[in-house]
Amino acid sequence: MLPELTAQERAVSAMAANIAVLEGIKVLAGLGETLAGTLLTYDALTMSFMKVPLARRPDCPICRDV
């Protein structure tokens, strides 16, 4: 069985799930700018987000053609 999550772990999981759902809605509705090609970090202590742009590596056989 899975271990019980703490209240903090449940809160962070809910935050991540909420962001994922909103991204899906944006994609399906064709609204706004998605986080494609971006790493979104979240600092729960300061309640801050940071976006880090990601680039595909041309020599990577997995991500170069995605």
- The three-state (H, E, C) secondary structure of the chain, written as one string: CCCCCCHHHHHHHHHHHHHHHHHHHHHHHCCCCCCCCEEEEEECCCCEEEEEECCCCCCCCCCCCC
Q: What is the pLDDT of residue 66?
A: 61
Mean pLDDT in residue range 15-36: 94
Mean pLDDT in residue range 44-50: 91
Give which of 29, 9, 28, 6 is closest to 17, Cα–Cα.
Answer: 9
Q: Which amino acid is at 49?
A: F
Give a yes or no: residue 63 inside a domain. Answer: no
Give a yes or no: residue 15 inside a domain. Answer: yes
Q: What is the pLDDT of residue 61?
A: 84
Q: What is the pLDDT of residue 45?
A: 87
Give which of 43, 36, 46 is closest to 12, Cα–Cα.
Answer: 43
Structural domain including 12 reads 7-53
Count of domains for the chain: 1
Give a yes or no: residue 44 inside a domain. Answer: yes
Give a yes or no: residue 27 inside a domain. Answer: yes
Give a yes or no: residue 61 inside a domain. Answer: no
pTM for the full model? 0.70
